[in-house]
């Protein structure tokens, strides 16, 4: 009976030590699980905030794109108008390079005297340089 008692005591001691080890292991795993859950909540909150921010940025970008389209349309329409309006100036510049004076620009192209003087001053200097 004593041998059974020794074997039983050793078995009980090994089992007890095994339970203590498993309990420590489970405690560590529980702490890791709590830490991971906390980190998951933080990441979820960050992701939610970024999604909200992204949605706001998307709306803002859509608004900016709309404004840019309007500006582009306005520039394109002004570009056509400006090219039409610039034709007499292009012709005036050509005439100044050919030696025309302010009076000729006013008479032939219908420019105002101040427009003709400005074109003459700017482009007669360029052609002389």
Q: ∠ CA(67), CA(68), CA(71), 5° rounding?
A: 90
- Pinpoint the alpha helices (H) of the chain: 2-97, 102-109, 113-128
Q: Where are the domains of the chain?
A: 36-128
Q: What integer is the mean pLDDT of 100-127?
A: 87
Highest mean pLDDT among 3-17, 44-58, 98-112, 113-127: 98-112
Q: Using CA atoms in the order 68, 72, 78, 80, what is the torsion angle rounded to 10 degrees?
A: 180
Mean of pLDDT over the chain: 84
**CA 72 and chain centroid, separation:** 19
How confident is the model over 5-44, as pLDDT tens digits?
888 888 888 888 888 888 888 889 999 999 999 999 999 9
Question: Do residues 108 and 90 touch, judged by C-beta distance below 8 A?
Answer: no
pLDDT over 70 (residue 81): no
**The pLDDT value given to residue 79:** 64
């Amino acid at each position: 009976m004593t041998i059974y008692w020794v074997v039983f005591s050793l078995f009980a001691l090994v089992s007890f030590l095994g339970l203590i080890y498993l309990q420590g292991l489970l405690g560590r795993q529980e702490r890791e699980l709590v830490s991971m859950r906390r980190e998951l909540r933080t990441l979820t909150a960050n992701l939610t905030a970024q999604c909200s921010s992204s949605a706001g940025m998307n709306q803002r970008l859509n608004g900016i794109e709309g404004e840019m389209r309007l500006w582009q349309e306005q520039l394109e329409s002004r570009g056509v108008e400006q090219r039409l309006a610039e034709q007499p100036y292009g012709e005036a510049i050509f005439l100044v390079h050919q030696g025309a004076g302010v009076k000729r620009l006013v008479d032939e192209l219908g420019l105002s005297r101040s427009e003709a003087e400005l074109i003459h001053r700017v482009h007669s200097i360029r052609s002389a340089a």
